[in-house]
Structure 1
Amino acid sequence: MSQPEGLIAGSAMPPFGDGPALSHFEFWPAWKFYAPVWLWIGCLMFRHRSIRAPLVANPGFPAGGLVGERKSELFARLSGPERRHLPDYVVVERLDAAFDVQWQSIEAAIETAGLEYPMVAKPDIGCRGAGVRPVRCPAELRQYAEDFPKGETFLVQRMIDVEGEAGVFYVREPGSKSGHIHSLTLKYFPHIVGDGRSTLRQLILADTRAGMVPQLYLGRFGNALDSIVPMGESRRLVFSGSHSKGAIFRNGNDYVTEAMRARFDAIADAIDGFHFGRFDVRFADFAAFQRGEDFAIIEYNGAGAEMTHIWDSRTTVLEAWSTLFRQFSMLFKVGAANRKRGARPEGWQSFFRQWKREKSLVDQYPVTG
């Protein structure tokens, strides 16, 4: 595809562009925004004569990656040379035992893996950035581990501390040699700049966008909200590249290149049973990323993935709904094709058990960074 003008060589991200601070539907209640989408899903169930087709969109993923999948299990499926794109990590089970003993084993596992601070801690089961936090010293990681639900697992991963982040929505139909990037979402992280007089709280509330949705930011800063931010000092308001946690999304579809698509073909080949999903990636140089080079996959998911460019504030609600209609049409088509190739979905009892567990855990995780 053609490349928009204005991209600076060596820059982490393309220019942000103009547009409204928020779209009028951007933070509607889920039931209101997704109601037409659910009606469309009902039509697709009737058309394909299947309710569970999405559960086999990615054979081998739990529920096709719709709910309840573990990041560690998905990461383990990425093999061969393309695994170089995945930052090193360790999996930690939060034991219901004396924490001092477990802390020693956590430190040993981190040392063995060659990880160094700063790192990222994230739940093994989770969605929309829930519980994802940067940990910049042993005290922060220890606090995260102590606060984590007992009996559950989380990942500690090498931090890719660069400004560039994007969501790559990729689909390849079963039997095809190549797929297509249907959505590229560019993610920007809001900052405030101190004036030497105002508190962090005041600067957030005065910001054109953050001041309209302060609940996304205020809760993560604690006592620091009432401290004066020094003149010229920049503070990043969110670490996680999640729209629901405060990152700002832009439609980057015009920046997709053939080299980028070919690289994600190779990555999809290296993931057993993958056909449909989104890769969240970080990079320091956007032009290199367009060449399919020098980027890290910080996370990927399956059937539950969304074309997140719809959350660009310049997108209309009709455009967003049309995009989601197309997304779910592809999901059912891929699932139906896999079903014809012999894939069998798991039962409803297992599906709802995973959904309930994920929903319960999200509410128990430490505050997102």
Structure 2
Amino acid sequence: MTLANPGMRYGGFFSYSKYDVLKQLPEKYVPKSAFFTVAPTSKEVKKEMNRLGLEYPVILKPDEGERGSGVEKIKNDQELDEYLLANSPNIILQEFIDAPNEFGVMYVKYPSQEKGKITSIVFKGELYVIGDGVSDLITLFKTHPRAQLYIDFLKEFYKDQLNMVIKKDEIFMLSKMGNHCRGAIFNDANYLIDKLDVSLFDSISESIEGFYFGRYDLKAKDENALINGDFKVMELNGVNSEPAHIYDPDNSLMRAYKDLFRHWWRIYKISKENKEQGYTETPFPTLVQSLMNK
């Protein structure tokens, strides 16, 4: 598995630097970013914001993390102070990209082939509740089929607004980033696969040393912008990537497993080819020890 991307630590399975990956990408596709290896003060973060020409809101997130854990949209000084108190070193400051749509594009390239291919596209829908003019926010959480699954997080995040009554038919957005831990809904967008320019993703991927397999998490204005290459790469995940279209609520369990088996088979074939070219895999005890030290 770790041989799928020999240029990424552990193949991008875990404990790899998101910032190190992003800084290898062409500048036009990446949000303005800064990296703090030592826990910064709010003054230091704002100094970097000023250097990069950024204003609130901005994104702060850990350099290593899974499924959106620790990723926050910071809208003011108070939220900045609260985030820094709760988080450790190795923090990425990132420009907030206001494009409303987020996509996950799975890219695969066999080392023996010149061209790669796109094997999965997911559209990440945001979580929201709709007011009825009577119910307060906590009631809307409890009666929403998906929001109730994240009730503990939502109660803490919106603790000062739980008694607020939402106007009738007003949409109250809850999930501002497309990840499962915040309740985002993943929708199968594989109908876009044939419309995307694979050569563009080949070109972007070639800038990353030893990269053959992963998922680009992108933000774009709409599907046409994605098709035309007008997007920003928020993250590039390695071998830990999933073909996230399988989480579409309308997908069947049988089809999801079928797609996963294909996904794992590609990992095996890429790893096998890289091993034949002389790359060595990370010893299993090393992986276990690294996991235990996380």
Letter in structure 2 aligned against 1:284:
K
Alignment RMSD = 1.9
For 2:49, which of 110, 134, 138 is the aligned residue? 110
Q: Helix, strand or coil: the match of 1:192?
A: strand
Equivalent position of 2:214 in the other structure: 277
Equivalent position of 2:69 in the other structure: 130
In the alignment, does 2:273 pair up with 1:337?
Answer: yes
Equivalent position of 1:70 in the other structure: 17
In the alignment, does 2:146 pair up with 1:146?
Answer: no
Q: Is the 8 A contact 1:120 1:158 kept in 2?
A: yes
In the alignment, does 2:23 pair up with 1:84?
Answer: no
Q: Distance in 2 between matches of 1:212 and 1:135?
A: 24
Equivalent position of 1:347 in the other structure: 283
In the alignment, does 2:247 pair up with 1:317?
Answer: no
* Residues 254-286 of structure 1: per-residue CA shift (max 9 Å, x gap): 122354322211111121111000010011121
Deviation of the 1:156 alpha carbon: 1.1
Letter in structure 1 aligned against 2:21:
L
- What is the percentage of aligned positions where both structures have the same residue? 29
* TM-score, normalisation: structure 1: 0.75
Equivalent position of 2:223 in the other structure: 286
| Unaligned stretches of 5+ residues in structure 1 | 1-53, 359-369
For 2:234, which of 298, 303, 314 is the aligned residue? 298
For 2:125, which of 172, 188, 200 is the aligned residue? 188
Q: Helix, strand or coil: the match of 1:224?
A: coil
Q: Helix, strand or coil: the match of 1:223?
A: coil
Deviation of the 1:353 alpha carbon: 3.4
Equivalent position of 1:36 in the other structure: none
Q: Is the 8 A contact 2:34 2:92 kept in 1?
A: yes
For these two proteins, the number of residue pairs brought into alignment is 294
In the alignment, does 2:144 pair up with 1:197?
Answer: no
Q: Is the 8 A contact 2:112 2:273 kept in 1?
A: no
Letter in structure 1 aligned against 2:71:
V
Letter in structure 2 aligned against 1:73:
D
Tell me whether 129-138 or 260-269 shows the greater mean CA deviation. 260-269
Letter in structure 2 aligned against 1:319:
R
Equivalent position of 2:166 in the other structure: 229
Q: Helix, strand or coil: the match of 1:72?
A: helix
Deviation of the 1:109 alpha carbon: 2.1
Tell me whether 109-118 or 170-179 shows the greater mean CA deviation. 109-118
Q: Is the 8 A contact 1:68 1:357 kept in 2?
A: no
Letter in structure 1 aligned against 2:223:
F
Q: Distance in 1 between matches of 2:293 and 2:14?
A: 9
Letter in structure 2 aligned against 1:191:
Y
Q: Is the 8 A contact 1:199 1:226 kept in 2?
A: yes
Q: Helix, strand or coil: the match of 1:168?
A: strand
* Residues 70-95 of structure 1: per-residue CA shift (max 9 Å, x gap): 111111232xxx33111011112344
Q: Distance in 1 between matches of 2:155 and 2:268?
A: 39
For 2:201, which of 228, 240, 264 is the aligned residue? 264
- After TM superposition, the structure 1 = structure 2 runs for residues 15-30 of structure 1, keeping only pairs within 5 Å, are none
Equivalent position of 1:7 in the other structure: none
Q: Helix, strand or coil: the match of 1:256?
A: helix
Q: Distance in 2 between matches of 1:349 and 1:115?
A: 43
Q: Helix, strand or coil: the match of 2:51?
A: helix
Deviation of the 1:243 alpha carbon: 2.2
* Residues 27-46 of structure 1: per-residue CA shift (max 9 Å, x gap): xxxxxxxxxxxxxxxxxxxx
Q: Helix, strand or coil: the match of 1:162?
A: coil
Q: Is the 8 A contact 2:146 2:183 kept in 1?
A: no
Q: Is the 8 A contact 2:100 2:222 kept in 1?
A: no
- After TM superposition, the structure 1 = structure 2 runs for residues 1-40 of structure 1, keeping only pairs within 5 Å, are none
Deviation of the 1:68 alpha carbon: 0.7
In the alignment, does 2:67 pair up with 1:119?
Answer: no
Letter in structure 1 aligned against 2:75:
R
* TM-score, normalisation: structure 2: 0.93
* Residues 330-358 of structure 1: per-residue CA shift (max 9 Å, x gap): 10110111111111123334322332344
Q: Is the 8 A contact 1:278 1:302 kept in 2?
A: yes
Q: Distance in 2 between matches of 1:219 and 1:189?
A: 19
Deviation of the 1:232 alpha carbon: 4.3
Q: Distance in 2 between matches of 1:338 and 1:92?
A: 33
* Residues 114-143 of structure 1: per-residue CA shift (max 9 Å, x gap): 222111111111010101110011221121
Structure 1 pair 263–323 and aligned structure 2 pair: CA distance change class (3 A): same
Q: Is the 8 A contact 1:166 1:282 kept in 2?
A: yes
Q: Helix, strand or coil: the match of 1:77?
A: coil
Structure 1 pair 213–118 and aligned structure 2 pair: CA distance change class (3 A): closer
In the alignment, does 2:255 pair up with 1:307?
Answer: no
